[in-house]
Amino acid sequence: MRRSSPPSPSPRRPSQPEARGGARGESRGEAGGTLWLYGLHAVAAALANPARRLKRLLATEEAEEALAARLGERWRITPERVERGRFGTFLPEDAVHQGAALLVEPLPNLTLDRAVEHGPGPVLVLDQVTDPRNIGAILRSAAAFGAAALVMQDRHAPPETGALARAASGALEIVPVVRVVNLSRALDELKKAGLWVVGLDGAAPVTLAQSGLGGRRVALVLGAEGDGMRRLTREGCDELCRLPIAPEMESLNVSAAAAVALYELGRS
């Protein structure tokens, strides 16, 4: 993984078709497609993840130095030195890239049983949460509080994108993301694996702290803001709980609710 050669003093200009394709990489695309990850945390985490297949690394001089300080001198890919203005040709206009962008293949989708075995912590299940920045923030909390995996229904969730990875701040490379066809079936599989399925619902009779989960391993289900969990998802839960928020506030942002609930589960 040592750099095969030092960065070229004259940067190799990315070809225009690939640069434009990188912008389209904000969606998963066809099988074998690529996407651009950007921002120092997301790029450094992807470089350190052996499961991530790397294609190109573009960095300013300052960003390359910052990455070297985090990763040392052993890299799996040789960076291409570029000026900061070049990033606007292949990244979204509002992308906070910090001078680093990495062209990668999407991570492979793990099976649910393998993801459950990834660690002893809770499993997060998202029901129609569609904002990639919310999902990225949830992944960040999941990594911080030791969640084993994040489960989403494939057709009701956004694809892996640079914006999601940026919001996750490296957690996309740490917490396995499982995309399933049928969420109700996935809840049944989690129950068979020994997890207690708890749905977070503002109208539930008891709080998460009052539920007496004890030493149970939990699969925590969070629904979309506004609509909440769908009926079949709610019926698939073993128990419904709420967070004790002030009555003046109807609900929390789903990423904030996930962080509070994961903290509470860690205390039980």
User: pLDDT, tens digit, for every residue of 4-53?
Assistant: 333 333 333 333 334 333 333 333 333 348 999 999 999 999 999 999 99
pLDDT digits (tens, 9 = 90+) for 105-118: 999 888 999 989 88
Please give the average per-residue pLDDT across 46-72, as a whole number.
Answer: 94
CATH code where residue 200 lies = 3.40.1280.10
Considering the domain architecture, whether residues 142 and 179 belong to the same structural domain is answered as yes
Phi, psi of 254 (to 5 degrees): -60, -35
Confidence (pTM): 0.82
Is pLDDT at 99 greater than 90 in this prediction?
yes
Please report which confidence band the pLDDT of residue 69 belongs to, taking 50, 70 and 90 as the band edges: very high
pLDDT at 215: 81
Indicate whether 6 belongs to any domain.
no
- Length of the chain (residues): 268
Is the confidence at residue 181, as pLDDT, over 80?
yes
DSSP classification of residue 146 = T
Per-residue pLDDT, 9: 37
Q: Which residue(s) pair with 141 in the sheet?
A: none
Q: Is residue 89 part of a domain?
A: yes
Comparison of pLDDT for 147 and 249, the residue scoring more: 147
CA 207 from centre of chain? 27
Residues in contact with 104: Cβ distance below 8 Å, sequence separation at least 6, in sequence order:
34, 35, 36, 37, 46, 52, 53, 54, 55
Dihedral Cα 133, 54, 123, 189, nearest 10 deg = 120
Of 78, 104, 130, the domain-final residue? 104
**Domain shared by 139 and 100, yes or no:** no
The CATH number given to whatever domain includes residue 82 is 3.30.1330
What pLDDT is stored for residue 225 in this prediction?
75
The reply to whether 167 and 213 lie within a common domain is yes
Neighbours of 71 (CB within 10 A): 16
pLDDT attached to residue 248:
78
Q: Is the pLDDT of residue 154 over 90?
A: no
**pLDDT exceeds 60 at position 220:** yes
Q: What is the pLDDT of residue 158?
A: 85
The pLDDT > 90 percentage for the chain reads: 64
Mean pLDDT of the chain: 85
Which residues, 6 or more positions from 212, have their beta carbon under 8 angstroms from its beta carbon? none
Checking if the pLDDT of 176 tops 60, the result is yes
Q: Tell me the pLDDT band of 230, cut-offs 50, 70 and 90.
A: very high
Domain boundary at 70, 85, 104, which?
104
Q: Give mean pLDDT, residues 231-238.
A: 95
Task: Give the end of a domain, one of 104, 122, 154.
Answer: 104
202 and 74 fall within a common domain: no
How many structural domains is the chain composed of?
2
Domain around 38 = 16-104
Considering the domain architecture, whether residues 20 and 59 belong to the same structural domain is answered as yes
pLDDT at position 18, please?
40
**Could you tell me if 140 and 37 lie in one domain?**
no
Residues 99, 21, single domain; the answer is yes
Q: State mean pLDDT over 51-80.
A: 92
Q: Identify whether 81 is part of a domain.
A: yes
